Amino acid sequence: MKDTRIRQVLARRVWDSRGRPTVEAEVTLGDGALGRAIVPAGASTGTREALELRDGGSAFGGLDVQRALAHVQGEIAAALAGCDAADQAALDRCLIALDGTPDKTRLGANATLAVSLAAAHAAAASAGLPLYRWLGSTLGGGPATLLPMPQIQIFGGGAHAGRRVDIQDFMVVCPGATSFAQALEWTAEVYRCAGLGMRRRGPLHGVADEGGWWPDFDTNEQALQALVAAIEEAGFAPGAQVAIALDVAASEFGRDGRYRLGLEGRELDADGLIELLLRWIERYPIVSIEDPLAEDDLDGFARFTRAAGRRVQVVGDDLLVSQAARVQEAAAAGAANCVLLKPNQRGTLTETLDAWRAAQAAGYAGIVSARSGETEDTSIVHLAIGWGVGQLKVGAFARGERMAKWNEALRIEQRLGAAARFAGAAAFGHSR
Ligand code: 2PG
Ligand code: MG
């Protein structure tokens, strides 16, 4: 019998892709197995996300994480000593109880998630399994053979590009691809052609936070036109082979029912924004729209879902914040048909899985998602495959912290061999 009881919990400050401090935890078990995880950080965060504990003060713009690190090495390490890392649900219950608040406001979700995830890695290592298989055989209970449809950013925007354009993510998906590897090949060509197109338009200004080309456009719609042109230049049929996915991230420019499109110097109400998005759906091969309305507009979300939810996937990110109760509330209101799953929005693995289970019960699709501030940590790839979620959003097809994840999925696809199944277009929320 392997000894999967926790022997040691360590924390250290490491740095994310924006050069900001973040939390890494390392969990060692009685049998010597070791697991390690790093927590990412958002920029366009939902107000209902669990708390990311930062120190404040002057160092690193107030973003240091010494208090979170101290919680990991102090209270959390003491409480988890001797706990069985192979029982993730019990371990996460212990973290939740120790924190004692609804949104991890005492210990910090960055402290709790780092340990929750590192413990899963340690348990997997002890079992001699890659994390996705460990998750499949324990938490998720699935076969862990489903490769996700990648959602890959081509142009960045919103909070990730100095609000140069209002829409945050202009992404592609590949409904015509027959494997994960092929979807990456197709996206690589589209990303390359989009870069060439930007160079032809004028000076190329590099990339935004998640690696998408810097959005040097006069209107939001110009980005959509440039995206279709890139898909065509790469030799693919827009819509059938390569289609468009957007993250509007509307909470960033809308509140109290008013939406200000800064780039275009105009303000819309919720119905005006819905109309605009419906027009885009008519004109462009869009199959997925995330956060079309602000997080406080459940009603608007429901109206948009009624109008468009049969034709496109309607994804709730800031609206649902990876929380099972929020998913249930939205489902009851008929808002959205897909949940975005970001473990650091809740602070433990088990609560993130609960959100996915609530989504499945409601007939929603799911997308496991990275944050705009990322690292080399590839855990989310394993979550997507281990839980059979079917879609994965990681940012662009550039920058090491993004490519580390796409490449990890390629390794898993190869290792699975004939057992690998590609989720394809059936994974979309409106296909269900
Ligand atoms: C989002 C994410 C990733 P952030 O809104 O979906 O694109 O951004 O991590 O800044 O919240
Ligand atoms: Mg989002």
* CA–centroid distance, residue 248 to ligand 1 (Å): 10
Residue 405 falls in the annotated catalytic set = no
Q: How far, in Å, CA of 98 to CA of 101, rounded?
A: 9
pLDDT digits (tens, 9 = 90+) for 158-171: 999 999 999 999 99
Length of the chain, in residues: 432
Ligand nearest to the CA of 320: 2
User: What is residue 431's predicted lDDT score, i.e. its pLDDT?
Assistant: 85
Ligand nearest to the CA of 317: 2
* CA–centroid distance, residue 155 to ligand 2 (Å): 14
Ligand nearest to the CA of 372: 1
**Candidates 44, 338, 345: which one to mutate for ligand 1, based on the most atoms within 8 Å of Cβ?**
44
Same fold, 6-128 and 146-431: no
* Mean local confidence (pLDDT), 227-241: 98
In CATH, what number does 6-128 get? 3.30.390.10
User: What is residue 1's predicted lDDT score, i.e. its pLDDT?
Assistant: 72
Partners of 155 in beta bridges = 170, 213
Q: State if residue 345 touches ligand 1 by the CB under 6 angstroms criterion.
A: no
Does the pLDDT value for residue 140 go beyond 70? no
* CA–centroid distance, residue 221 to ligand 2 (Å): 19
- Give the CATH architecture of domain 146-431: Alpha-Beta Barrel (3.20)
Catalytic residue among 24, 49, 52, 210: 210
Q: Which atom of ligand 1 is nearest to the CA of 43?
A: 10
Residue 432 binned pLDDT confidence (cut-offs 50, 70, 90): confident
Spans of all domains in the chain:
6-128, 146-431
CB-side exposure of 299: number of CA atoms within 13 Å?
Answer: 5
Which class for 264: exposed (0-12), middle (13-18), buried (19 or more C-beta within 10 A)? Answer: middle
24 in Cβ contact with 16 (< 8 Å): no
Q: State if residue 42 touches ligand 1 by the CB under 6 angstroms criterion.
A: yes
* Mean local confidence (pLDDT), 77-93: 98
Does the pLDDT value for residue 70 go beyond 70? yes
* Mean local confidence (pLDDT), 50-57: 98
Residue 2 falls in the annotated catalytic set = no
* Mean local confidence (pLDDT), 315-340: 98
To the question of pTM greater than 0.85 for the whole model, the response is yes
Nearest to 393 by CA among 409, 370, 377, 376: 370
Q: Which atom of ligand 1 is nearest to the CA of 46?
A: 11
